[in-house]
Every structure is written in structure tokens, then in C-alpha cells.
Structure 1
Amino acid sequence: MSAFIQQLPALIGVVIGALGSYLAIVRSDGARFRRETAARWEERRLTVYGEYARALKKSVNLTYRVASHLGNDPHPHPLSPQEAEPLLAAATDGRDPAGEALIMLGSRDVVERARVWVTAVMDMERFMREGTRDPAAWQALLERQRAGREGYYTAVREDLALPPGHPARWPTLPVADA
């Protein structure tokens, strides 16, 4: 019995060491799991944010082309409203699922900024569908759309902890007076 008592401190040390190692491994694995999970969700959000932007830009580009046909925009590839209508319908159909994914996975600020941007785009679509010929009003709509897009991208970058990006405000050519 005295041999057991003499070895008891060493045995207690081994048990404490094993328990400490176990706890360190469990804690490390938990932290790694949380980091990997956060990275996966961040990748998914980035994908959803990009898909929404691409879907919305399809509508924007079509409105540029129709506005060019109406004499409001200098886009080099005009498109009549009749030719654009099925393309706009397809773009809207593609935009809706992307918007639902955005609502599901996006931060509140990103979703709010997306709403501001899409509202401006819908106003551009309405302007185009009405056949309005007013380059100054069109330019005001373009500025709203560009500000909405810039706000959306800023919110996305903040949500994903990305550095500030380019505002994408390139100068455009004025519409030539007819």
C-alpha cells in the first residue's frame, strides 16, 4: 500500500495532464468548427450578394438600351421597348429568387440598401415603359440608381469585413440633342 501512496502524486499528475490535454483539444476543435462555419456562411452570403447584383444589373442594362432607343441615353446598342419586354420579364423573373435568397441570408443593412437600389431600378423600368423622352429626368434616375448600387456595395463590403472599394462612378457621355 505504501508503494501505491508513493506513486499516487505521479498518477494524479498523469490524470490532470490527460484531462488538460483533452480540454485543450475540445476547445481548439470547437473554435476551429466555429471559424469554418463562419467562413462557409460568409462565402454563401458573398455568393448571394453577387447573384443579386448580377440579376439587378441585367435589368439596368436593358433599361439603358431602351432609354437609348427613346433618345434618353447614349448607350451604343439601342433596343425598342417591344424587343426589350420579354428580356425584362426574364430579368425580373431571375431577380426575384435572388432577392429571396438575399432576404434570407443578407444582413439587415444589406437588404435595406438592396431595397433602395431595386426601387430606383423599378422607377427606371417604369420610365422606360411609359416611353418618356426626357434626358434630364433619365439622368436623375441614373444618379439614384448609381447611388443605390454604391450604397449596396458599401453595405456588402461592411458586412463581409472587406476593404472599401471603388465607387464605380465613371463619367458617361451626354445625350446628343436631336
Structure 2
Amino acid sequence: MSAFIQQLPALIGVVIGALGSYAAVVRSDRARFLRERTARWEERRLSVYSDYARSLKKTVALTYRVASHLGADPHPHPLPMAEAQPLLAEAAVAREPSGETLIMLGSKEAVEKARVWVAVVLEMERFVREGRREPEAWQTLLAQQRAAREGYYAAVRSDLELPPGHGARAPLPSVPVA
């Protein structure tokens, strides 16, 4: 029995070491799981934010083209309202699911900014549906749309903890003339 008592401190040390090793592995696995889960959700939110922006931009692009047909915008590819109506309806239908997903997964600030942006886009759509030919009023709507889009992108970047700003307003590099 004295041999067992002599080896007891070593046995206790082995048990403590095994428990410590187990605790370290469990803690490490838990931390890795949390990091991976956070990364998955960030990827999903980025996808939701991008899908919503893309769906709104379809409507914006169509309104540019119709406004060009009306003489209110310099867009190089005018589109008559008769041809644009089914495309606008399709864009609105496509926007609904991405909007619902945004409400579910987006941050409160991003959802609020998305609502501001979509309100301006709907105003642009109303402008072209009414057949208005007022370039100054159209330019005001364009400025509001750009500001609303910037607000949405800023909220998205903040939610995803990305650096601020975007390069949409950066001057384009000059093209050498041959």
C-alpha cells in the first residue's frame, strides 16, 4: 500500500493534467465554433445586403432609362414607359423577398436606411410613370437617391465592421486620347 501512496502525487498530477488539457481543448473548440458561426452570419448578412441593393438598382436603372426617353435624364439608352412597365413590375416582385430577408437579418440601422432608399426609388418610379419632363426635379430625385444609397451602404459597412466610405464618387482615371 505504501507504493500506491508514493505514486499518488504522480497520479493526481496526471489526472490534473488530463483535466486541464480537456478544458483547453473544449475552450479552443468553443472559440473556433463561435468564430466560424460569426463568419457565416456575416457572409449571410453581406449576401442579404447585396441582394437588396441589386434589386433596388434594377429599378433605379430602369427609371434612368425612362427618364431619358422623357428628356429628363442624359442616359444613353432611352426606354419608353410601355416597354419599361413589365420590367418595373418584375423588379418590384424581385425586390419583395430580398426586402423581407433584409428585415429578418439586417441591423436596425441598415433596415431604416434601406427604407429611406426605397422610398426615394419609389418616388423616382412615380416620376417616370406620371410622364414628367422636368430635368431639374429629376436631378433633385437623383441627388436624394444617391444620398439615400450612401446612407444604406454606410449602415451596411458599419454593421459588417468594414472601413467607412465607398469609391462610387471617386473621380475616374483619365483615358489618354490617341
TM-score normalized with structure 1 length: 0.93
For 1:149, the aligned partner's letter is R
Q: Deviations over 1:110-129 (max 9, x none)?
A: 11111010000000001111
Residue 168 of structure 1 aligns to a residue in which SS?
A: helix
Aligned residue pair count: 171
| Distance (Å, rounded) in 2 between the aligned partners of 1:152 and 1:32 | 31
CA offsets 1:8-44 (integer angstroms, 9 cap, x no match): 1000000000000000000000000000000000000
The Cα RMSD (Å) is 1.1
TM superposition shift of 1:170: 6.7
Give 1:51's aligned residue.
51
Question: How far is the alpha carbon of 1:81 from its aligned partner?
Answer: 0.8
C-alpha change, 1:44 and 1:107, in structure 2 (3 Å) is same
Partner residue in 2 for 1:133: 133
Deviation at 1:165, TM superposition (A): 2.9
Q: Equivalent residue for 1:142? A: 142
Give the deviation of 1:164 after TM superposition: 1.8
Match of 1:8 in 2: 8
Structure 1 CA distance for aligned equivalents of residues 49 and 115 of structure 2 = 13
User: Cα distance 1:157–1:55, how it changes in 2: closer, same or farther (>3 A)?
Assistant: same
Q: SS of the counterpart of 2:169? A: coil
Distance 1:119 1:167, change over 3 A: farther
The residue type equivalent to 1:32 in the other structure is R
Correspondence for 2:98: 98
Q: Hey, what's the Cα distance between the residues in 2 that align with 1:97 and 1:154?
A: 22
Whole-Å Cα distance in 1 between the matches of residues 167 and 144 of structure 2?
14
Is the contact made by 1:150 and 1:167 (CA closer than 8 Å) also made in structure 2? no
User: For structure 1, which segment, 128-137 or 157-166, has the greater mean C-alpha deviation from structure 2 after superposition?
Assistant: 157-166
Give, as a single letter, the amino acid of the residue that structure 1 aligns with 2:97: P
Q: 1:48: how far off?
A: 0.7
Q: Distance in 1 between matches of 2:141 and 2:4?
A: 87
Q: Tell me, yes or no, if the aligned pair for 1:146 and 1:169 is still in contact at 8 Å.
A: no
Q: Which runs of 5+ in 2 are unaligned?
A: 172-178
| Percentage of identical aligned residues | 74
Task: Give the corresponding residue for 1:176.
Answer: none
For the 8 Å contact 1:70–1:132, the answer to whether it is kept is yes
Query: How has the CA–CA distance of structure 1 residues 132 and 115 changed in structure 2, closer, same or farther, with 3 Å as cutoff?
Result: same
In the aligned structure 1, how far is the partner of 2:52 from the partner of 2:2? Answer: 75
Q: CA deviation at 1:167?
A: 5.2
Give the 4+ runs in structure 1 shifted more than 4 A. Answer: none
